[in-house]
Chain A
Amino acid sequence: MCRLAMKTASKPFSPFSVLEGMEAMQEGYDGSGLGLLLRGLDFTDYKYQAGDPILSGIAHTPEALHRLNNIMESKGFELNYDHEFEVTRSMIEAKDRHKYLLRAYKKPAAWDSLSEDEVGRELMLTRLELRKNGEENGGDLTAFSLWPDVAMIKEVGWPLEIGQAFGLNNDRIKSRVCFAQGRQNTNYGINLYACHPFFIEGVATMTNGENTAFVPIKDWLSGKGFPGYMGYQSDSEVFAHILHYVTKQLKLPLQAYKHVITPLANKELAAHPQGDFLRGLRDVCRRLIIDGPNAVIGSLPDETTMVVMDAKKLRPAMVGGKPGEWAVASEMCGVDALIPDRDRSKDFQPMRQHTIIIPPDRQELEIWSQFDQLPLIQAA
């Protein structure tokens, strides 16, 4: 089992504080890796321009970096900022890391006429091109994300040590949302792409659990022909893709995600105000029903964050905080470490039917039950 920690706050904070929250739960993971997602970025040495895409990844060799530069230049990206991590190499297990990438670009001028969705699609395709280029060259280039206001760090090792190795405790980077996950992979080989969180077109998730329905879900998503539905080095990557599919392709409200991955049983649907619609939705999205124990934490482009449980509530997750800052962690000690000065009596442990939504204003938790009416479209 691994551990998850997430904090979202109106005021940017250091990701290192989230790693300390992870450390509080250290008995729950094996230290095989760390994945971080930062959203709502604030750099001490750079004034980030909203909307500029940020590339996160690793160039494992100078040649890879050179090729990366060529690709980005040829596409018309203009490098605005290249964050240099103060890396302590001796603390990092892997030796083939030429440069950790965290770069802000200016979008190609040719994209000015594109809609927001089209720009998003182009950014995703560019990321996939970089990834493919790396895979074609012995895996010497890794691209985690290319998206405005989002940075990702993934590395093999003990989470807190990686944070120290990256110098994340120097406060040079802060963010309003930070996801951290402390394990490489559950079922498959150790691979940087297999490390949570997973990212696609602004949507990201991380999971604590095992998705036993992975293969049929992967087969279905792969068959959709959408270029971003690929990878699948981890059984949990499909959670991000399903969230993307539900919100961006089906354009259903966030609450529908829960109905897709863990639909209600027949007798529950019979009593649901939109039972007819939801039963049909369950049938058509049947191949996206997840299984096994899972706590899924998600992040959307507007800085909304969310938590959902598997249908049997077989994994832990605890939500706590106060107006302006909220934390989600696998264990209460993790929430304590992230936001110690909160009213603990208002902590909430989501059950199988719940979707916890923390809206961008972060003033209060929205605890939405699957048995409630969906804020849906007239359809149902």
Chain B
Amino acid sequence: MVSIRSIASHPSSLSPNDLPWKIVHREDRCTLCGKCAAVCPVNTLKLTYMRKRMPKIVLNSTERGSSYKTFVGIRQNTDVGRRCIGCGSCSMVCPNEAIGPVHNASDRYRFQATAGGGAITRGGRRNEPGASLLDRIIFNRISMLTDPALDAGRHEFTYNTLLGRVLPPEEYVRRKLSGEWIPPVREIFPFVIGSMSFGALSPNMWLGLLQGVAYCNEVLGIPVVMATGEGGCPPWVLKSPFLKYIILQIASGYFGWDEIIRAIPEMQCDPAAIEIKYGQGAKPGDGGLLMWFKVSKLIARLRGVPEGVDLPSPPVHQTLYSIEESVMKMIQSMSMAWNFKVPVYPKISGSTSAKSVLNNLVRNPYASALMIDGIDGGTGAAYDISLNATGHPIASNVRDCYLDLCKQGKQNEIPIFAAGGVGKNGNVVQNALALIMLGASGVHMGKFIMQSAAGCLGSEQNRCNVCNIGVCPKGITSQNPKIYRRLDPDDVAQRVVETFQSIATEVKKVMAPLGRSQSLPIGMSDALGIADKDAADRLSIRYVC
């Protein structure tokens, strides 16, 4: 049967009520300044002329029965590509609080977002609202019996961690006596700014982070390090004394490594470490993906590619057959490049096979750590299905790996770093210390630092999440100077510093009542409790209620 084409309803047609975010506009407050429409990163808003009929009772037959009024109002675009993303930029610029997005939990958009045949993609996060498992773990081994309470404000606390291969004590004493090589070990703050590439992040964001990290190290004495992600590192940083605060990542696309290798002779100091990325919690099985929107002239130069092309890294390191081979080749090559003075470690997606990888590393004298990125990890660009449903939660993954190391007596030798959802609801210290007491030596955090230091608008309700297309309303993940100039690096640096100061204070506020001040409580699982019997059993911690 031939359809009636004049009807404005087809399978993919959506109304504002069908979208995940609906714009509420109050005409009585609107001044028609147009700032909202100008700032909207996805051009969902349009100021448009509209006409409405003004019926009235007419007594005089010479007049018409109705009159019309023309007005200027806001229309919300319902195209999939230009739907409201809920970022709230409109409400931020509105002088009269006349406009803002409202979340719509019963949207139909999700069924229609595959228009054109592509699977849904986004940047950002997993979108799982509510308290995470890590949010539900509490610290309950309070020293009440014999312990004079430690004073978080006045006592000295040691809470740094080690990144690097730590020898068994017998072997250390033997090597030290005979003058043999001792693997490099870095003492770092256990909260690491996770891998976000120069390319994923805007130059201003990157600069702000680095400034903040340098201040934490050089003024506050908090040895914070940050990881680059795949995509290299600006040459001026490579040749600067700040390189020691940076973990350089090499991933399957090897982007930026031409610059890095060439800069080695001119480096003033060694990098903090080298991270070899094999997998990412947010998108296991995928390599990095920098969409063409973000491949600016600067990024193209750093990465050694043409401008404006998609940069999908392959899922695997093409030269490698297996993790065993990788352990042999890449870790050793990277170690050799810096004369065995820089820790080199792999980063993998959270996985049931993490223990196998770990056991490989245990047998390799050059492997310095293992970084496991859980399913709640963030990303600059990924398929929804990868973000939402592919990967392994970090808590049990870390716990299994740690207990496996304990059985072998190797838990001090290969530090496990954990990532994936640390601080996703703001409870960064609670989440991190839970992971540390489950056995992690430290955590990496990406989304949290973007939210805390730069005001990233993302939320677990699929708010914003357009890091992939370079229109970040805050200028955090854009390569468009018109956008990223909104972000002042000095402001970001200030917030980085404030964030780490508050983290350090909160760490002490947890450690003090537990009676711990001399070392980071790695593996102190007797301090943990959760009101969930199954989770408690799975993690071998105490069930409390």
Chain A interfacial positions (CB closer than 8 Å to B):
1-2, 186-187, 209-210, 212-216, 219-220, 222-225, 245, 249-252, 262, 265-266, 277, 280-281, 283-287, 289-293, 311-312, 314, 377-380
A216 and B177 contacting across the interface, CB-CB below 8 Å: no
Asked if B355 is an interface residue, CB under 8 A from chain A, the answer is no
Instruction: State the CA gap A251–B150 with chains docked (Å).
Output: 34
User: Once the chains bind, are A281 and B169 in contact (CB under 8 Å)?
Assistant: yes
B182 at the interface (CB under 8 A from A): yes
Q: Which of A209, A222, A223, A286 contacts B519 (CB 8 A)?
A: A286
What residues on A are CB-neighbors of B148 within 8 Å? Answer: 293, 314
Instruction: Identify the interface centre among A186, A212, A245, A281: most chain B CB within 10 Å of its CB.
Output: A212
Docked-complex contact B170 and A187, CB < 8 angstroms:
no
| A216: contacting residue among B146, B162, B187, B523, CB under 8 A | B523
Q: State the main secondary structure of chain A at its contact with B.
A: loop
A sample of 6 more A-B contacts (CB under 8 A), given A250-B173, A284-B168, is: A186-B146, A210-B146, A249-B170, A265-B156, A291-B517, A312-B150
- Residue pair A220, B162 in contact (C-beta under 8 Å): no
A6 to chain B, nearest CB (A): 19
Inter-subunit contact A291/B516 (CB<8 Å)? yes
A225, A281, A292, A377: the one within 8 Å of B515 (CB): A292
Give the residues from 409 to 423 in chain B that come closer than 8 angstroms, CB to CB, to chain A: 409-412
Q: Are B173 and A379 in contact (CB under 8 A)?
A: yes
Q: Do the beta carbons of B172 and A280 come within 8 Å of each other?
A: yes
Across the interface, A287 reaches (CB within 8 A) one of B143, B167, B412, namely B412
Cross-interface CB contact of B411 among A220, A280, A285, A289, cutoff 8 Å: A220
Q: Is B177 in contact with A379, judged by CB distance below 8 angstroms?
A: yes
Q: What are 29 contact pairs spanning A and B, CB under 8 A?
A: A186-B145, A209-B146, A210-B146, A212-B141, A212-B514, A213-B516, A215-B524, A220-B406, A220-B411, A220-B412, A223-B405, A223-B409, A245-B169, A250-B169, A280-B172, A281-B172, A283-B166, A283-B172, A284-B172, A289-B518, A290-B518, A291-B515, A291-B518, A291-B519, A292-B143, A311-B517, A312-B155, A314-B147, A379-B177
Provide the residues of chain B in CB contact with A266, threshold 8 Å: 187
- Tell whether B176 is near chain A: CB-to-CB under 8 Å: yes
Q: Which 10 A-B pairs have the closest CB atoms?
A: A223-B409, A212-B515, A216-B523, A284-B172, A210-B146, A289-B519, A215-B526, A284-B169, A292-B515, A379-B177
Partner of A219, one of B162, B168, B406, B519: B406
On whether A277 and B176 interact (CB within 8 A), knowing A186-B146, A284-B167, A290-B518, the answer reads: yes
- Which residues on B are within 8 Å of A, measured CB to CB? 141, 143, 145-148, 150, 155-156, 158, 162, 166-170, 172-173, 176-177, 182, 185, 187, 405-412, 514-519, 521-526
Chain A residues positioned under 8 Å from B405 (CB to CB): 223
Residue from A2, A262, A266 with most neighbouring chain B CB atoms (10 Å): A266
Nearest residue (CB) in B for A289 is B519
Q: Is the CB of B518 within 8 A of A213?
A: yes
**Pair B170/A250 contact, Cβ less than 8 Å:** yes
- In the bound complex, do residue A1 and residue B146 qualify as a contact, i.e. CB atoms below 8 Å apart? yes
Contact A293 B146 (CB under 8 A): yes
Which of B141, B146, B162, B166 has the most chain A CB atoms inside 10 A of its CB? B146
Q: Given A210-B143, A314-B148, are A280 and B182 also a contact pair (CB < 8 Å)?
A: yes
Whether B172 lies near A216 (C-beta < 8 A) is no
Interface hub of A210, A222, A225, A252 (most chain B Cβ within 10 A): A210
Closest to A216 in B: B523
- Contact B519 A377, beta carbon cutoff 8 Å: no
Q: Known contacts A286-B519, A291-B516: does B411 contact A212 (CB below 8 Å)?
A: no
A184 → chain B, closest Cβ, in Å? 12
Q: Which residue of chain B has its CB nearest to the CB of A378?
A: B177
* B185 and A283 within 8 A (CB): yes
Q: How far is the CA of A157 from the CA of B148 in the complex (A)?
A: 26
Cβ distance B179 to chain A, nearest Cβ, rounded Å: 9
**In the bound complex, how far is the Cα of B177 from the Cα of A225, in angstroms?**
25
What chain A residues lie within 8 Å of B525 (beta carbons)? Answer: 215
For the complex, what is the distance from the CA of A212 to the CA of B142, rounded to whole Å?
Answer: 9
Residue pair A215, B143 in contact (C-beta under 8 Å):
no
